[in-house]
Amino acid sequence: MTIRSFALALALTSLASVAYAQDGLHIDDAYMRTSGNMATSGAAFMVIENNTSADDRIVSASSDVAERVELHTHKQDANGVMQMLEVPEGFVIPANGAHALERGGDHVMFLGLKSPLAHGDVVTVTLTFEKAGAMEVQIPVDLERKPMHGAKSGPMNHSGHGMKKTN
């Protein structure tokens, strides 16, 4: 790695950790995942903070990188299998609170990726809120991120759950 590319990597790293704010809304720790080079879909996760005294709601998302971008959640069916489904009404971001989009839970879904995404790519996504309006965020592709300790996990991912602390 040359000095110059190292500096670029540093710049990208600090860009990725920037928190976006608009009308009292903050987006923290946003990242996007796909299931690899051939993936035609991906999902983005983040924490949306609402520092106002009124509830807001994320109602849609869009991006040039995919044919369709939807708000999804996971639900367990009668057989205990996790399934994804679209949530057309979106997710409430409570007043003076936060809503986490996380693995195994609510997420922003990208369907029909127009080109493969690689680790380190940065995707521009427009999030639209009922009150705060449209907000453009830069979301880094992070294929190495492990699910956070305590994140919801479905039957597909039982390994190690509750067996040890990572810190």
Footprint of Cu ion on this chain (CB under 5 A)? 72, 84, 109
3-class DSSP assignment, residue 6? helix
Question: Residue 71 or 137: which CB sits closer to Cu ion?
Answer: 71
Beta strand 91-93 pairing with 56-62: antiparallel
Task: Return the number of the residue (72 or 99) whose C-beta is nearest Cu ion.
Answer: 72
* Least CB distance to Cu ion at residue 61 (A): 12
Question: Would you say 101 or 109 has its CB closer to Cu ion?
Answer: 109
What's the rounded Cα separation, in Å, for the pair 108 and 73? 9
Considering the complex, what minimum distance in angstroms separates the CB of residue 143 from Cu ion? 17
Distances (CA, A) of 84 to 28, 43, 49, 107, 146: 23, 11, 24, 10, 20
Minimum distance, C-beta of residue 104 to Cu ion, in the bound complex (Å): 11
Both tokens of 56, joined, read 């807001």
CB 20, min distance to Cu ion, A: 22
Question: Which element (helix H / strand E) includes 15?
Answer: helix 3-16
Q: Which residue number, 21 or 151, has a Cβ lying nearer to Cu ion?
A: 151
